[in-house]
């Protein structure tokens, strides 16, 4: 007649709930993605990512200082060059925007902030693909590896702590690790975007980096099919074998099962990328008054941690870190 066990006893007060919480989201879990545009005089808002801007080299320094003072441990940098070309040469230019940003942030903040850089070509190519193209317009995996190796060296020379290859080329982690080690950058770590899906949730990001894939193309021939999870585990295994120090699953919320399975199989740090579309959906619904935006954001990020992620790359990083002060 009366319930034998009342689980509600431990839900009675906020302090009780805090005491028995299984998952804790903290500032240390957050990594802030930052966009730096070479051609701007002042920061420019990104329409589809409310609250996120394309920075200038000056404004990103201010933002990074602020993030570090809030206690956010790391940032992920994305550069938008003035000129895009077929081989994305600006990505490895020692004077390119991403390299200058890395050097500036290391100069300002030293080891107080982990400076990570997205390592890909799509922000730098005129066709918008993540690699070099063959004459027939398909991505040339193996030729791209040489370019990634060059980009890694340029970022390492600028002082980057972690390179984060996101192009989903086969063999990219090994190619980058080899070239870093050869050039005596054995201390530079690799965060591999290991299980990265061909997702429709990257839309606002492409506004942020001004990428349009040529001829209405997509990335389905190199990013993963959302239908697959065993394939994701194989991607992660290969990246770990090739020398990844940390791996990432991306996007996050539609792939919590992938996060959980990777966590169960691997002991190295696991990141999840709560991507632009995931952020934009929360912001848009909140702007309409349909949901409580900050509450949904916390619920989403807590769920990503509960699934097994150690850290979350999220556009909510600053907002949440400010709220947690």
Collapsing DSSP to helix, strand or coil, 36 comes out as strand
Distance of CA 217 to the CA centre of its chain: 22
Tell the smallest beta-carbon distance from residue 111 to ligand PBG (Å): 25
- Cβ proximity to ligand PBG: between 19 and 139 the closer is 139
- Cβ proximity to ligand PBG: between 24 and 293 the closer is 293
Length of the chain, in residues: 325
Residues in 196-215 at the binding interface with ligand PBG, rule: CB under 6 A? 202, 205
Question: Interface with ligand PBG by CB under 6 A: which range of 13-21, 118-126, 141-149, 179-187?
Answer: 118-126
Distance of CA 34 to the CA centre of its chain: 10
Helix axes 57-70 and 97-109, enclosed angle (nearest 10): 40
The bridge status of strand 44-45 relative to strand 53-55 is antiparallel
Residue 118 in the binding site for ligand PBG (CB under 6 A): yes
Question: Interface with ligand PBG by CB under 6 A: which range of 50-58, 87-95, 116-124, 241-249?
Answer: 116-124
Tell the smallest beta-carbon distance from residue 129 to ligand PBG (Å): 9
Residues in 271-300 at the binding interface with ligand PBG, rule: CB under 6 A? 275-276
Residue 63 in the binding site for ligand PBG (CB under 6 A): no
* Contact (Cβ atoms closer than 8 angstroms) between residue 171 and residue 149: no
Tell the smallest beta-carbon distance from residue 319 to ligand PBG (Å): 15
The one among 122, 161, 239, 242 contacting ligand PBG by CB under 6 A:
122
- Cβ proximity to ligand PBG: between 108 and 286 the closer is 286
**Of 84, 250, 261, 283, which is the active-site residue?**
250
> Which residues have a Cβ under 8 Å from the Cβ of 117 and sit 6 or more positions away?
76, 77, 98, 102, 155, 160, 162, 163, 164
* Contact (Cβ atoms closer than 8 angstroms) between residue 128 and residue 211: yes
Residue 242 in the binding site for ligand PBG (CB under 6 A): no
Collapsing DSSP to helix, strand or coil, 145 comes out as helix
Max Cα separation, the chain? 76
Helix (H), strand (E) at residue 15: helix 14-20
* Catalytic residue flag (residue 250): yes
**165 φ, ψ (degrees, to nearest 5):** -65, 125
**Of 196, 261, 283, 305, which is the active-site residue?**
196
Tell the smallest beta-carbon distance from residue 73 to ligand PBG (Å): 19
Choose among 61, 152, 77: nearest CA to 109: 61
Binding residues for ligand PBG, rule: CB under 6 A, are 118, 120, 122, 130, 166, 202, 205, 219, 275-276
Q: Please give the positions annotated as active site.
A: 196, 250
């Amino acid at each position: 007649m009366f319930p034998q066990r009342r689980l509600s006893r431990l839900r009675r007060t906020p302090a009780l709930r805090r005491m028995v919480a299984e998952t804790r989201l903290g500032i240390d879990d957050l990594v802030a993605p930052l966009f730096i545009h070479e051609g701007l005089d002042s920061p420019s808002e990104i329409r589809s990512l409310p609250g996120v801007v394309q920075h200038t080299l000056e404004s990103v320094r201010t933002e990074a200082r602020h993030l570090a003072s809030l206690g956010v441990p790391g940032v992920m940098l994305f550069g938008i060059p003035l000129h895009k070309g077929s081989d994305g040469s600006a990505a490895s230019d020692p004077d390119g925007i991403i390299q200058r940003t890395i050097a500036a942030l290391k100069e300002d903040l030293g080891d107080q902030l982990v400076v990570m850089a997205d390592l890909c070509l799509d922000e730098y190519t005129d066709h918008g693909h993540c690699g070099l193209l063959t004459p027939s317009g398909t991505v040339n995996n193996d030729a791209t590896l040489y370019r990634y190796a060059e980009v890694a060296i340029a970022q390492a020379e600028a002082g980057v702590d972690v390179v984060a290859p996101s192009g989903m080329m086969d063999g990219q982690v090994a190619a980058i690790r080899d070239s870093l080690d050869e050039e005596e950058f054995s201390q530079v770590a690799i965060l591999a975007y290991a299980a990265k899906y061909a997702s429709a949730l990257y839309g606002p990001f492409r506004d942020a980096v001004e990428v349009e894939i040529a001829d209405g193309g997509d990335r389905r021939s190199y990013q993963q099919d959302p239908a697959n999870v065993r394939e994701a585990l194989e991607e992660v295994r290969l990246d770990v074998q090739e020398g990844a120090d940390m791996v990432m699953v991306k996007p996050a919320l539609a792939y919590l099962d992938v996060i959980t399975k990777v966590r169960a199989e691997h002991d190295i740090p696991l990141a999840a990328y709560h991507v632009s579309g995931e952020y934009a959906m929360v912001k848009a619904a909140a702007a309409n008054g349909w949901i409580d935006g900050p509450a949904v954001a916390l619920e989403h990020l807590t769920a990503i941690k509960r699934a097994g992620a150690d850290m979350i790359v999220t556009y909510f990083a600053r907002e949440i870190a400010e709220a947690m002060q």
